[in-house]
Amino acid sequence: MENIYNIEEIFAEVIIPYGLSIVGAIVILIIGWLIASWASKRVRKACDKSERIDATLTPILTQTVKVLILIATVIAVLNRFGVETTSLVALLGVAGLAVGLALQGTLSNFSAGVMLMLFRPFNVGDAVNISGVMGVVDEIGLFSTQMHTFDNIYMVIPNTNIWGANISNFSTNPTRRVDMVFGISYTDDIDKAMKIIWEALEADERVLKDPEPMVAVGELGDSSVDLFVRPWTKASDLWPTRFALIKDIKERFDKEGISIPFPQRDVHLYKTENGQ
């Protein structure tokens, strides 16, 4: 009889209360997991529909939402078993401070990565110049950014080196100006040379009419009269247009007798009394 009473007491005092708590905790975990999955999917759909949120930022936002909901679920489960979550949060805060001091450089890269993704000074596929390093962005990560230079050298740059640097983005604006200088001889007809350049610009369909190109006498150099040529073109046509115009203008100059002089210097010799 005593064994029966002991089993009944254990069943009444231990199994029923804790069993209900365990069942409740399992239910909370399942519900929390379902809510986290549903919320992350909703965030992903919202990010995919939004034109302001870049595709690189979407997985980070969805994972962040999911992790935060799961953390709240675990705290709810601990409360179910009577665990003091306030002391646990304080302990996690102290541990987080210690980890933060140990990983200060890594966290700096992380915060810089978040700033890059929020303010978007460049996107994947953009041609950029970051502190003298020119190339195309391949991937923007939380800790580093991957890119390749124009001669196809793979590079990984820590985000702290990017966020605090001067960034030139060649892909942001739809149009670019092509800067060229052509030197002609002092004996050549300047107006004729400028007319030839205008004809070359008008013949190239990639040269935009608005903004209007500029052709002007820029400098009187040591060996040549320098003509500044400033046409505008689409950003994607910049280098092909520049290369084609240089070739075309040089050929037109040769055909019309306009010379491009080599650097030269006049040297004057004087005889001294000794005949030297």
Q: What would the pLDDT profile of 105-125 be if each residue is shown by its tens digit?
A: 567 777 787 788 778 888 888
Examine the pLDDT at 37 and tell me if it is beyond 60: yes
Phi-psi region of 8 (alpha: psi -120 to 50; beta: other; left: phi over 0): alpha
3-state secondary structure 82-148: CCCHHHHHHHHHHHHHHHHHHCHHHHHHHHHHHHHHHHCCCCCCCEEEECCEEEEEEEECCCEEEEE
- 257: tokens are 């007798």
Examine the pLDDT at 9 and tell me if it is beyond 60: no
Whether the CA torsion 196, 197, 198, 203 is positive or negative: it is positive
- Kind of pairing, strands 133-140 and 175-177? unpaired
CA distance 22 to 156: 48
Q: In the CATH scheme, what is the code of domain 2-102?
A: 1.10.287.1260
Average pLDDT over residues 79-84: 64
pLDDT tens figures, 199-253: 999 999 999 999 999 999 999 988 899 999 999 999 989 999 999 999 999 999 9
CA distance 155 to 146: 6
pTM of the model: 0.59
Examine the pLDDT at 94 and tell me if it is beyond 70: no
Higher pLDDT, 55 or 193: 193
Write the single-letter amino acid at 219: E
Q: May I ask the CATH architecture of the domain 175-256? A: 2-Layer Sandwich (3.30)
- 106: tokens are 């890594």
Contact 193/227 with Cβ under 8 angstroms?
yes
Contact 143/159 with Cβ under 8 angstroms?
yes
Write the single-letter amino acid at 229: V
% residues pLDDT > 90 (the chain):
33
- Candidates 3.10.450.50, 3.40.50.11810, 3.40.50.10490, 2.30.30.60; CATH matching 122-169: 2.30.30.60
- 2-102 and 175-256 have identical folds: no
CA distance 119 to 114: 9
Domain boundaries, the chain: 2-102, 122-169, 175-256
The pLDDT, as a whole number, for residue 42 is 84
Higher pLDDT, 59 or 41: 41
Examine the pLDDT at 2 and tell me if it is beyond 60: no
The pLDDT, as a whole number, for residue 5 is 46
